[in-house]
Structure formats: structure tokens, C-alpha cells
A and B are shown apart, each in its own frame.
Chain A
Amino acid sequence: MNPTDDVILIVEDDPDDRHLLARACRKAKVEIPLHFAVDGDEALAFLNGISRAPDPQRPVVILLDLKLPGRSGFEVLEWIKGHPIFRRVPVIILTSSRENVDLERAYDLGANSYLVKPARPEELLRMVEQIDAYWLGLNQTLRAAM
């Protein structure tokens, strides 16, 4: 069902969160491979790279942390939503913050979903299962022709 070049891009600077997310995806049996970017610059480099690659990987969904060193999650979001092709890729904000200002700004910039990182591993697992079921299953995404 999933073409082999599909990928989930996860932009997360915290190694623990990356580890817990990877574990949750494994437990949730998410089939699409994960690609981690540790900051905003790396995320942009990855996206820029695939738009030029002959046999590109395609992000089907992007999980984006807001608080990143250097280029912030908002800047990455703004860049994605301003990009002619990637703006159609669903971006799920995954952050610690429940602050209204963050929610407002994220939605204003075009975020497709906003999730707050839960404390317990089981809760995280349930969240990943739901992402998998909804965003990678139920939800129709546009397969970008690169």
C-alpha cells in the first residue's frame, strides 16, 4: 500500500523524545519509515534535498516540534507552508506547550494538527496509533509528484 519511498519526517531536537517516539512507532507498528531531523536547518536541508533527488523520498506527514535550536519550529512550518509542493503535506505540531499563543500561531501558519506530548509511554503509544490510523490511514493526502 505504501510505496517504498514514502517517509515520515520527524523534526525533534531532544534525543529522548526521538527515542520515545521511535519506540512508540515501533510498538504501534507504523510501517512507513521515519526520518529524523534534529533541528530546523536539517529539516530544510532534507526537504530541499529530496526536491532535487532523482529518486526522492516523499514525506507523507511531518511531525514538528516547536522549540528547536536555531531555526524555530514556526519558521520551519512557515517555510513548508510557503513551499509550492510541501505545503500540501500535513504538518502535525508535537510539542510540550499548551500556550494559547503557540496554538494560535501554529494554526495561523497552516498547521494541520496540534498535539501535546503526553507524560506516560502508554499515552504516547496511543497517540502514535491514532496518528497512524488517522493521518496515515483515514486521511487522504496528495501524493506529490516530484
Chain B
Amino acid sequence: MTLQTQDIDLTACEREPIHIPGSIQPHGLLLAVRLADRTLAYASTNIAEVFGLDPAGTLGRPFAEILPDLSREFEAPLADPPPAGTTRYLRTVEIATAQGQRTYEAAISRSGECAVLELEETPPEAVSSLDSLYPTLRRFVEQLQGASSIDVLCGLAAQDIRRMTGFDRVLIYRFDELWNGTVIAEDRNEVLPSYLDLRFPASDIPAQARELYRRNRLRIISDANYTPVPIQSRSPEPLDLSDSVLRSVSPVHLEYMRNMGTLASMSISILRDGQLWGLISCHNKAPKRVSLQVRNACDFLTQIFSLQLEARENTTLAEDRVRLGAVQTRLLAHMAAEDHFIAGLVNHPDDLMLLAGAEGAAVLTQDHCWCLGQTPAEEDVRTLFAWLSRHHQEDVFATDCLSQVYPAAKAYTDRASGLLSISISKAHSSYVLWFRPEVVQTVKWGGNPQKPVQEEAGTSRLHPRRSFEIWKETVREQSLAWDRSEIEAVRELRNAIVGIVLRRAEELASISEELRRSNKELEAFSYSVSHDLRAPFRHIVGYSELLKKQEWADLSEKGKRYIDTIIDSAYTAGTLVDNLLRFSQMGRTALKPRRVDIHHLIDEIRQQLTVHAASRRIDWVIGDLPEVTADPVLIRLVFENLLDNAVKYTRPREKARIEIGSTRNDGETVFFVRDNGVGFDMKYIDKLFGVFQRLHRMEDFEGTGIGLANVRRIVERHGGRAWAEGALDRGATFSIALPDHIMTEGAA
């Protein structure tokens, strides 16, 4: 959820150049010495009171002449300050001032062409050495070992920072992905109210302040009512105070502090992987100084804390990874066991949902939608899929508030307030989605987040809100957030699926290449059979017939029988070759479908057949035969074969009965040819439609055994089915189903 206050935050605070305020806080002084010529380039005006120096008269003069003691004391660091982004605490020094001997803590940093020396007056109650801080640090480190959770860890850090600094209240403040901050741990006395569990809007710490926090880990404001001390210079360029320990802060921030009822504050950045993770924020009702040494110790403690935090989070992440890795391994096994990866997912919905900690999931391709568990209705999922395909083609997309980016989701927040999705293929849009239901949450804001600032009437000056009273907000249409391990787990699943899809595609490509090659070989083979194998059979038939003609009279009965056998066999062999060629050609030529009147076709074939079976008694029973869409030449071949078989295998019957009819099925027409012939044994059903498979002896029924193979091949090329039922000596029924809409496929 976003707050509609970003514009104010952006137009005012984000533009404020807080790194060049041109002033410092009054509890110390700042001297900037130009590296090139060691002249004093910038100085806080309070050098007048402290050293009795006239800033105007000293600027531009060699530093060694102005303050020879200090120049000598810090000669080395002034000549070679640390690189930008680092501030180094030097030591505590006694300095003779106009008011007598004073103790200062010195820090050095670099700003542009200058070495910046800052002298911070040591607070009266300051501890004198690191020794007194050491027990606290040691105890903190020891306790870290025993801290069981991040919450406990944060509690310890808050306690120890408060112990070292004596602030009234110490908060551990954690940023969310929108830079709103939540107080996750607190240690305090009774002076200031509890802020535990409160949330503060992102606008409270604007972007450039966050950037400064990232760079400069520790800031302190000793008194929100302070009067800033200006920095003077002859240069028109303001001095960049990004690394300064005394940097003056924005008046808006001081007002914010006063409104909050805290006059002193200190904050230490908690960084993770160089990014701002959170803050340790310390507050005091009254003005409060903390010595530079103690601040350094706090910084050190915070760094240890950050490392521990990182280690804890990594451990948690690693544990989650191991747990989800096991689920993922199971899913991969499911996918590997199936022909298509989708089956592996949709047949194991529990594992699929467990992977992302979701209560519902959906798998979508362009043609199909599988909804598993608690999901929106299928049509809603399909609409969401269309939206994703248009707007979120990235590999992984996650949101814990879908309705915010996709308003239609408001209708099913109880099932899908949170969406996590992976896009598997961009070309053939397919997605796996996970859903999480709405979890209504109450957020306690530190003041009304809708009104973080108030504009002063008639001016453009902004004022932070005056009230930090708890302001409760009920957050709806939002699910539990998808955590990093879950997002990573689905990303890995996506990679695995993409791998599987790619491998399948490669396998298919290689199979089709193989097919293409073997098809080409088959073509070459049948071509050569066509030209060469037919000639010898033709010659055997030709010459045998010539021989028979010329020598018939002189041949013995045996010789005559032999010659007839030669002719018959060679002729059959030639026919066999012809049929085989036709069979192979049938698979290679494209279908030319059109409307075919089956009734008319059957009539023609029947007449043709009865010419050859004139002596037979055949009872034809012709039922209703509708028109179908089919290749007319090929479909004729189908019925020729079926009717020819029916006539042939009823030959032993005194009265043959051949019935031809049709039935309607869903999207297809089924034709059948039933006879009362010799039938067949169902145990040979598998062989019935095979090429060159014969179930009867040649002496009983002639044929080459290719007819039914042709029938099945033609019907299947039309996208239909062919089957048979029968019993030995009890007739047979052959059926073919032709779909209403045949797929137009190219020649195989």
C-alpha cells in the first residue's frame, strides 16, 4: 500500500540540499584546510569565541600561522585525510581557548579539496576511555551467540545501545520495500512513550536523507533548539558536509523532533549488503550530548549487530531453501515422470502450492487452464492470465496486493490478494500462478501518515505533523508478503521447466529430422522399387504367357499346371508391389477433402462388386448414410476395401447378408459394414489392420493383406478411427469414425 503523500515529500524535503547546510551544530568547531596550500578555506564562525580569531581575517591564510599548535598536533591527518565517505576519530585533545583549557574530541574527514578537522567539545559526564565501554561490548557479543531470533537480537541491541548512551528511548526501526519504517524493538525508561510496533511513513526520512544515512552511519542532534553556527569562507562554493560529525540538520527535521517531544536524537544506520536495512534510533526528552568515543562504540556495536543480522537472515534463508529445495526436487521428479511437464505439476497440487506457501495455484497455457486449491473462478483466472501476458512477461512477478495493480482482483481478494507468477514461454504464453488470500492487518502509524506535513498558511514552508498519537489503519486486499526464499524457489522451478521444455523441443526437432530423413529414404526406396522391381515380374508374366501360348499343345498336364502357377505367382507378386507402392504413396500425398455423398458412393461400389459376384445371393441392407467431408478418392478406397472384404468373406454362406449403416457420435460420424461371413478370432484383432497381415489361408481367400492397413491409414489421416469386432464363423463388423472437421495436414 502506498501513501498519497509522496508528492509533498518529493516537492519539499527531497529537494532540500541537506549535505550543504552551510552551518554546524554549536557543540564544536569546524576547520577546513585546503590540501594544496594548507591555507584555511572554511571555518565555523565560533572560532571567534573559542580562539579569539577574526574569521574574515584568518580565511585564506596558512593554517600553521593561524593555529600553530593544532596544525602541529594534526599535521599528518591534515596532510592526508581519509578518502571521502570515511570520518576518522583521532583522539581527545586539550586545547587552550579564550576560556582556558578545554577538552575536545577531534575527527578528520575529506571534503573536495579540503581536509576537514572537527573539534567536538567533550561532554562533561563523558567516559574517558574505551575501557569503560568494553564490558558492554563484550557482553553484547556474548549474548548474541544465545539470541535465538532476529527479534531477540534486536532487543539486545536496543538495550545495550541505551546502556552505553543513556538515551530515554532506543528503537530498532526497520524499513519495508516502500521505505516505510516499523519499530520492531525498543528499550526505554518512563520519560518517553513507547513506539513499539508503530509504523512511520516513508516521507519521514526522505530519499536523500536515506542516502546520507547509508554513507554516514551515525548522526547526532544534541539539542533540537540549537542555534546553528555558520561556516564562513571566501569561496562561493558551499562546503560538502556529508562526512561531517557536526553537520547542521534541516529545520524541518528539528521541528519534527520538537513535535515528537524529543530534543536530542541519535541514529545509527543498519546496513545489509550496502543497503539501508534499518536504523537504531535514540531519543531523549531533554538535550543530550554523547561523546564521540561512545558514538564510535555504538557504531562498532551496530556493525557487529548488522553482521549477526545478516548471518541470521542468511541462515533462515538457507533453511527455507533446503525445505523448499526438497519440494522442488519432488516436483521435478513428477515432471520428469510425465510426458508433459504440466501433468507433473497439476497432478501434484499439494507440492506445487507448498513450494510457494500458497493456498491456490493455476497452470495456464493458451488452450488450457488448471485451477488447484483456493483460486478465483476459472474465467477470472483466464482474464488475469490475459492481463499478465500483456503486462507482465518478466520471468517472475510477485505482489502481495494484486488489486492495486489489477483492480479486477478486488472481486476475489479472499482467494487472490497475493499473486506470484512465473512466465514459462513468451512465444506460447504459459504461466504458473500461485495465490494467497487476504490477511486483514491493523497497522499502527506514528501519527496520521496521510498528513505527515502541514503547510503554513500563505507560505510554501512545510511543517511536520504535530501529533504522533497512534493512528490505526486497517489494511485490506493484501496478503502475507512472498518472501525471498519463496520467490527464489519459483524462479528455480521456472528455470527447471524452461530447461525441460527446451530439451523436449530439441528431442522433437531431432525426431522430426530423423523422420524427415527416413521419409526421404522411404521415398527413394519406393521410387526405385517402382522402376526396377516391377519389371522382372512383368517379364516373368509376359514370357510365361507367351510360352503358354506357343507351347501349350506340346505341354504335359503337369507342365501346363506349372506354367499357370508361374504366371499366377508372378502376377500376384507384381500386384503386391503395386499395392505396397500405393500404400506408401497414400501416406505421402496431401488430403484433398470435400463433401462426399457416401450413399451414392456405396451404390457405385456395390454395382461394381456384384458384376464379379453375379452368381452369389447377397442381401444388401443399406441404412442411412449421410454426406461427410473427406478425400473422395481415398474414402472410396476405404469403402471398396470394406465391401470387397464383406463380399469375399461371406462366400461360404449360401445367403450372404451385408449391412451398411451409420450412427452419429459427438463431432463424428461412424460408418459400419456388418457381414455374416467367416468372421475372425478376436485374439488376432491387433493383427487385423497390419500391413501384409492375413488371417486366412490364401487358398481360401485371395488377397495381399494390405486392404485393411490402407483403410486404417486413410481413416487416421482424416483424423478418425477404424476398428473391428467379430467372432470366428459368426461374421464381422468393421467401423470407421470420421470427424466432422478434419485437420488439413500436409503430405507427411
Q: A residues within 8 Å of B by Cβ?
A: 14, 16-17, 20, 23, 66-67, 95-102, 117-122, 124
The reply to whether A95 and B531 contact each other, CB–CB distance below 8 Å, is yes
Contacts A98-B530, A118-B538 given; 16 further ones with Cβ under 8 A? A16-B542, A23-B546, A67-B531, A95-B531, A96-B531, A96-B538, A97-B527, A98-B582, A98-B585, A99-B527, A99-B530, A102-B530, A117-B538, A119-B537, A119-B570, A120-B571
Those 8 A-B pairs whose CB atoms lie nearest each other, nearest first: A97-B530, A96-B534, A67-B531, A119-B541, A119-B538, A16-B539, A99-B530, A121-B542
Interface string of B515-556 (1 = CB under 8 A from A): 000000000001100111011011101110110000000000
**Separation of A66 and B589 alpha carbons in the complex (Å):** 22
Please tell me which one of the listed residues B534, B537, B546, B570 contacts residue A121 in the complex, with CB atoms under 8 A apart.
Answer: B546
**Separation of A100 and B747 alpha carbons in the complex (Å):** 13
**Separation of A102 and B523 alpha carbons in the complex (Å):** 12
Distance of B536 from chain A, by nearest CB (Å):
9
The reply to whether B538 and A66 contact each other, CB–CB distance below 8 Å, is no
| Chain A residues with CB under 8 A of B546 | 23, 121
Please tell me which one of the listed residues B527, B532, B541, B589 contacts residue A120 in the complex, with CB atoms under 8 A apart.
Answer: B541
Distance of B580 from chain A, by nearest CB (Å):
12
Distance of B171 from chain A, by nearest CB (Å):
86
Q: Write the chain A residue with the least CB distance to B535.
A: A96
Distance of B570 from chain A, by nearest CB (Å):
8
The reply to whether B526 and A14 contact each other, CB–CB distance below 8 Å, is no
Distance of B545 from chain A, by nearest CB (Å):
5
| Chain A residues with CB under 8 A of B538 | 96, 117-119
The reply to whether A66 and B531 contact each other, CB–CB distance below 8 Å, is yes
**Separation of A14 and B541 alpha carbons in the complex (Å):** 16
| Chain A residues with CB under 8 A of B532 | 67, 96
A119-B527 contact, Cβ under 8 Å, with A17-B535, A96-B535, A99-B585:
no
* B: number of interface residues (CB 8 Å): 23
Please tell me which one of the listed residues A23, A99, A100, A119 contacts residue B571 in the complex, with CB atoms under 8 A apart.
Answer: A119
| Chain A residues with CB under 8 A of B541 | 119-120
Please tell me which one of the listed residues B527, B539, B578 contacts residue A101 in the complex, with CB atoms under 8 A apart.
Answer: B527
| Chain A residues with CB under 8 A of B543 | 16
The reply to whether A100 and B589 contact each other, CB–CB distance below 8 Å, is yes
**Separation of A16 and B537 alpha carbons in the complex (Å):** 12
Distance of B552 from chain A, by nearest CB (Å):
14
A97-B539 contact, Cβ under 8 Å, with A119-B571, A121-B546:
no
**Separation of A118 and B581 alpha carbons in the complex (Å):** 16
Distance of B522 from chain A, by nearest CB (Å):
12
Q: Write the chain B residue with the least CB distance to A66.
A: B531
Distance of B526 from chain A, by nearest CB (Å):
7
**Separation of A118 and B527 alpha carbons in the complex (Å):** 18
**Separation of A102 and B527 alpha carbons in the complex (Å):** 9
The reply to whether A124 and B542 contact each other, CB–CB distance below 8 Å, is yes
| Chain A residues with CB under 8 A of B531 | 66-67, 95-97
Q: Write the chain A residue with the least CB distance to B588.
A: A100
| Chain A residues with CB under 8 A of B534 | 96, 117
| Chain A residues with CB under 8 A of B571 | 119-120
Distance of B223 from chain A, by nearest CB (Å):
100
Distance of B530 from chain A, by nearest CB (Å):
4
| Chain A residues with CB under 8 A of B526 | 99
**Separation of A16 and B527 alpha carbons in the complex (Å):** 21
A20-B542 contact, Cβ under 8 Å, with A100-B585, A119-B537:
yes
The reply to whether A120 and B545 contact each other, CB–CB distance below 8 Å, is yes
**Separation of A67 and B530 alpha carbons in the complex (Å):** 10
**Separation of A144 and B537 alpha carbons in the complex (Å):** 39
| Chain A residues with CB under 8 A of B581 | 98-99
**Separation of A120 and B568 alpha carbons in the complex (Å):** 11
Q: Write the chain B residue with the least CB distance to A124.
A: B542
**Separation of A102 and B585 alpha carbons in the complex (Å):** 13
Which of B538, B539, B541, B574 has the most chain A CB atoms closer than 10 A to its own CB?
A: B538
10 A-B pairs within 8 Å (CB atoms) are namely A20-B542, A96-B535, A97-B527, A97-B530, A98-B578, A98-B582, A99-B526, A99-B581, A117-B534, A117-B538
Q: Write the chain A residue with the least CB distance to B571.
A: A119
**Separation of A20 and B537 alpha carbons in the complex (Å):** 14
Distance of A135 from chain B, by nearest CB (Å):
22
Q: Write the chain A residue with the least CB distance to B534.
A: A96
**Separation of A23 and B549 alpha carbons in the complex (Å):** 14
The reply to whether A121 and B545 contact each other, CB–CB distance below 8 Å, is yes
| Chain B residues with CB under 8 A of A98 | 530, 578, 581-582, 585
**Separation of A96 and B538 alpha carbons in the complex (Å):** 9
Distance of B573 from chain A, by nearest CB (Å):
10
| Chain B residues with CB under 8 A of A102 | 530
| Chain B residues with CB under 8 A of A99 | 526-527, 530, 581, 585
**Separation of A14 and B534 alpha carbons in the complex (Å):** 13
A119-B574 contact, Cβ under 8 Å, with A66-B531, A96-B531, A98-B530:
yes
| Chain B residues with CB under 8 A of A121 | 542, 545-546
Interface string of B274-318 (1 = CB under 8 A from A): 000000000000000000000000000000000000000000000
| Chain A residues with CB under 8 A of B537 | 119
| Chain A residues with CB under 8 A of B582 | 98
Q: Write the chain B residue with the least CB distance to A116.
A: B534
Distance of A99 from chain B, by nearest CB (Å):
5
**Separation of A66 and B528 alpha carbons in the complex (Å):** 12
Interface string of B491-503 (1 = CB under 8 A from A): 0000000000000
| Chain B residues with CB under 8 A of A101 | 527
Q: Write the chain B residue with the least CB distance to A97.
A: B530
The reply to whether A96 and B542 contact each other, CB–CB distance below 8 Å, is no
Distance of A38 from chain B, by nearest CB (Å):
15
The reply to whether B530 and A96 contact each other, CB–CB distance below 8 Å, is yes
**Separation of A118 and B571 alpha carbons in the complex (Å):** 11
Q: Write the chain A residue with the least CB distance to B540.
A: A119
| Chain B residues with CB under 8 A of A20 | 539, 542
Interface string of B566-597 (1 = CB under 8 A from A): 00001100100010011001000100000000
**Separation of A14 and B538 alpha carbons in the complex (Å):** 12
| Chain B residues with CB under 8 A of A124 | 542
Q: Write the chain A residue with the least CB distance to B536.
A: A16
**Separation of A17 and B534 alpha carbons in the complex (Å):** 12
| Chain B residues with CB under 8 A of A95 | 531
**Separation of A67 and B528 alpha carbons in the complex (Å):** 10
**Separation of A118 and B541 alpha carbons in the complex (Å):** 10
**Separation of A100 and B633 alpha carbons in the complex (Å):** 15
Distance of A113 from chain B, by nearest CB (Å):
18
Q: Write the chain A residue with the least CB distance to B527.
A: A99
| Chain B residues with CB under 8 A of A120 | 541-542, 545, 571
Distance of B80 from chain A, by nearest CB (Å):
89
| Chain A residues with CB under 8 A of B585 | 98-100
**Separation of A66 and B534 alpha carbons in the complex (Å):** 14
